[in-house]
Amino acid sequence: MDGKLIQVRGGSCGDGATCPAAHLTPRGTLNIIGRPVTDPAELAQMAIGPGEIAIEVPGTLFPEAAADADH
């Protein structure tokens, strides 16, 4: 891959711990760092394609998405 990732959200916990984050790739996609979703009931509600996984991050990482859920 040519180019560098650009951190666009999160990643700064202040205590040295790994924190959820989003990085913009040179391809215009986002790499998300978070915990894998393992709850079978939640996974059953998502259309997850081959080779994909669901990642959970705090709503504060993408507040605009959390706000959309309130409508």
Domain residue limits, the chain: 6-69
Tens of pLDDT, residue by residue over 14-58, are: 666 668 999 999 999 999 999 999 999 999 999 999 999 999 998
Report the share of the chain in percent with pLDDT over 70.
89
CB atoms near residue 7 (< 10 Å): 14
Contact status, residue 60 vs residue 42, Cβ threshold 8 Å: no
Tens of pLDDT, residue by residue over 32-44, are: 999 999 999 999 9
- At 26, give phi and psi (nearest 5°): -60, -20
Name residue 48's beta-bridge partners: none
pTM: 0.73
Q: Tell me which of 7 and 69 has the higher pLDDT.
A: 7
At residue 16, the pLDDT reads 63
- At 47, give phi and psi (nearest 5°): -95, 95
